[in-house]
């Protein structure tokens, strides 16, 4: 148990539980600092936030970077339906309940997808949302009808297939790594992917985030976010096109800022300082 004083935990949270699953957390920064929850995407772990966290910690914020479902080794259900959006949101909500105060929420890639949903469903628990690389789901899906976004998202269909995606990364590593490199990943990121995802036996459960899509409902698909929001996108993003970015503002009914960086999809790993500065600036501006 973590003791609580006036809404602040007086101990580090290195793990939390939900429905028998154990989720790992990297908790850093001053214990009394304002809390920030950081959600990683595919195919990375909570470690992808290390440099960003250091900058945020230096400015007095306390960061909680979660290894989410499928990535925490104690939370790897095999059923595809276990990765539907409601489960992914409920996992993070369990940590928010433990923190016991509103947080600054930051998500990248799939972590951004979850962050948008949390901001919609639990606005009272979120002071400010930062979504990195991936816009609101409605903007993303609408763009598929009027741009090349569907073509850019070809891999989402590929990842629905059983076994073949795992074989690509486990049996044909040169091909798998070359595909990731083509998205702008650095050699260090590719090394981390091999070590932390493939070698650590996380690849199948990480892919289940895509395989869980058919089980996710769209009840809240067009609901607007009603908390202050910062959206950051890289102009050289190979997975998310400009059309969905242009549509994004329509789904935020709150102070909204949009930044286009000279960057790839992998902003937290490659542009940590700029990302941190933009987050802090936007929080202070909207306070």
Give mean pLDDT, residues 178-191. 97
Confidence at residue 215, expressed as pLDDT on a 0 to 100 scale:
93
**pLDDT per position as a tens digit, 36-79:** 999 999 999 999 999 999 999 999 999 999 999 999 999 999 99
For residue 64, the domain's CATH number is 3.40.50.1820
Region of 159 please: left (phi>0), alpha (psi -120 to 50) or beta.
alpha
Give mean pLDDT, residues 235-260. 98
Residues 215, 80: contact at Cβ < 8 Å? yes
Question: Domain containing 114: what range?
Answer: 4-286
Give mean pLDDT, residues 167-171. 95
For residue 2, name the pLDDT band (cuts at 50, 70, 90).
Answer: very low
Per-residue pLDDT at 103 exceeds 60: yes
Q: How confident is the prediction for the chain on average, in pLDDT?
A: 95
Q: b or e along 159-168 (b: 16 or more beta carbons within 10 Å of the residue's beta carbon)? A: beeeeebbeb
For residue 8, name the pLDDT band (cuts at 50, 70, 90).
Answer: low
CA atoms within 13 A on the CB side of 253: 7
Confidence at residue 225, expressed as pLDDT on a 0 to 100 scale:
98
SS3 state at 105: strand
Confidence at residue 220, expressed as pLDDT on a 0 to 100 scale:
80
Per-residue pLDDT at 96 exceeds 70: yes
Name the residue among 123, 132, 150 with its Cα closest to residue 265: 132
Confidence at residue 98, expressed as pLDDT on a 0 to 100 scale:
96
For residue 143, name the pLDDT band (cuts at 50, 70, 90).
Answer: very high
Confidence at residue 1, expressed as pLDDT on a 0 to 100 scale:
38
Q: What is the set of active-site residues?
A: 109, 210, 265
Count up the domains in the chain and report the number: 1
């Amino acid at each position: 148990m973590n003791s609580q004083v006036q809404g602040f935990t007086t101990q580090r949270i290195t793990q939390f539980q939900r429905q028998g699953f154990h989720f790992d957390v990297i908790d850093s920064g001053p214990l009394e600092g304002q809390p920030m929850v950081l959600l990683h995407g595919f195919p990375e772990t909570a470690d992808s936030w290390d440099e960003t966290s250091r900058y945020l910690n230096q400015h007095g914020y306390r960061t909680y970077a979660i290894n989410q479902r499928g990535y925490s080794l104690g939370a790897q259900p095999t059923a595809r339906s276990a990765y539907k959006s409601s489960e992914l949101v409920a996992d993070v909500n369990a940590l928010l309940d433990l923190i016991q105060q509103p947080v600054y929420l930051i998500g990248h890639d799939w972590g951004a997808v979850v962050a948008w949903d949390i901001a919609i469903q639990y606005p009272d628990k979120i002071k400010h949302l930062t979504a990195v690389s991936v816009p609101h789901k409605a903007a993303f899906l609408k763009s598929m009808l009027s741009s090349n976004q569907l073509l850019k998202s070809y891999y989402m269909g590929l990842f629905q297939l059983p076994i073949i995606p795992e074989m690509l990364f486990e049996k044909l590593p040169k091909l798998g790594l070359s595909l990731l490199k083509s998205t702008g990943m650095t050699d260090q990121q590719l090394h981390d992917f091999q070590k932390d995802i493939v070698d650590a036996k996380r690849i199948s459960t990480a892919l289940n985030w895509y395989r869980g899509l058919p089980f996710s409902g769209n009840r809240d698909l067009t609901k607007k976010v009603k908390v202050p929001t910062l959206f950051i996108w890289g102009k050289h993003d190979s997975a998310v096109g400009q059309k969905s970015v242009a549509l994004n503002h329509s789904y935020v009914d709150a102070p909204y800022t949009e930044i286009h960086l000279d960057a790839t999809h992998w902003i937290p790993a490659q542009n940590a300082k700029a990302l941190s500065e933009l987050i802090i600036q936007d929080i202070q501006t909207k306070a």
